[in-house]
Amino acid sequence: MGSGGSKKKQDSSHLIKTCTDHSGGVNCLALSRDGSLLITGSEDRTARLWSARTHECVGVLTGHADYITSVGFVDNYAVTSSADKTIRKWDLNSCDCVLVFTGHSSPVNRVAAAGGLLFTSSYDRTARCWQFDSGECVQVFLGHKRGITPIIFVAPDGDNSPKAQHDTVDASKDLVLTGSLDSTAKAWSLDGKCRTTFKGHKMAILSMAVDRQGKTLFTGSHDANVMAWTIETGEALRTFEGHQGGIICIEICNKLMYTGSSDHTAKCWVVDFGDRTREYKGQKHTVSCMAFHEGVLFTGSGDACARAFDAKSGALKRTYRGHEYIINAVAVVDGKLFTASHDGTMKVWNAENLVAEDWGKPKKDEEDKENAKRRNSNIDQQSYRSRPSTGLSEYDRRSREKIEQERKEREVMDMV
């Protein structure tokens, strides 16, 4: 796995603890559904379980023959994928490996789970579906021309938010979505048939997300654009342009989309309109990961720092310095930020008191400006109505459209 950043000045003002148990870079991090456990995967070929409360390592998962690429929790088990071409299932109580999934011929990149099934993506150009209980491979998804990285299970009739857990599957409706280095994404039915191919990007797809309803797919590409698609038909709805580098991560939150890029910025977009509403600056390297939590956007960067931004205003609230290399993953729970880095450590930081109690309420001067704008808008519209009826000029039409667009954007931002 790659690394970035350089040695930084230590900042202990918000640091709670540094966990140094791994002997290699920490590539991935995941939080259990109840928020009590974390799991990390490392270059040292092991995964570790941690208490989110005490920050102590409570288990070591040993068995992979190469570095860990992704980690997660499924029911009462941990799941890890590796560059050794396998996936492993671990008992959380004993930390024993209870099952090894073999079949991929190249490193396994990502894992998704639903209703007793496990879905995996690999550089071998395939995705696979496995029985979680037996480890049997029940389906191979063939069709991409290059390696597959992001993979998402979608239930059109269910909750598809990032923290949702799918306990059952409907083989007649549910889909698997894959994104590939071949610049396309695909939607697959569970019987292995490609339902839709999403073509439009000019370079590799690096990240994906879906809306909560499971109707819209968002793909982030090395071509610096995000595209929105109707999952059912494959229709391209809109392109989000504005980044100057590849889209490394995407997160959907209600009507807003957050994106992190190799151009050193994160951005916020209104999903329905495609407009960029905020830009989060300050990173000196790639935005490698991010997490939205209670009005705050947390980012991890190749400059070895994590940052906390007021999601609505875009203001930088806090910078977490202390890692020596790129931060690969972040998670937030119980007022604490956990960061996993290629320097071999996981750090725990204070993430409390980042947003004031009156978060979301405009300051008085901003309020006065907004009211003045609205009064001027009303005067303009009243003045227009008093003119002889000669039809809208192009200038008037665009002005009114802009006013209406700003009103809609304010309504969306108030939903955050």
pLDDT averaged over consecutive 10-residue blocks of the chain (416 residues)? 47 89 98 96 98 98 98 96 98 98 98 95 98 97 98 86 72 94 98 97 98 95 98 96 98 96 98 94 97 97 98 96 98 98 98 68 47 48 37 49 58 55
pLDDT score of 172: 83
d(CA 121, CA 98): 21
Q: What is the pLDDT of residue 295?
A: 95
Whole-structure pTM value? 0.84
pLDDT of 169 reads 84
Quote the tokens at residue 213.
Answer: 């309803």
pLDDT on residue 159: 75
Write down the pLDDT at residue 265. 98
What is the pLDDT at residue 161? 73
Q: Which residues contact 289 (CB under 8 A, 6 or more apart)?
A: 248, 249, 260, 299, 300, 327, 328, 329, 330
Q: Could you tell me the CA-to-CA distances from 66 to 18, 44, 50, 81 in Å, in that order?
A: 25, 8, 21, 10
pLDDT at 357: 42
Measured between alpha carbons, how far is 383 from 150 in angstroms, rounded to an integer?
54
pLDDT at 4: 47
Residue 164's nearest CA partner among 110, 127, 108, 213 is 213
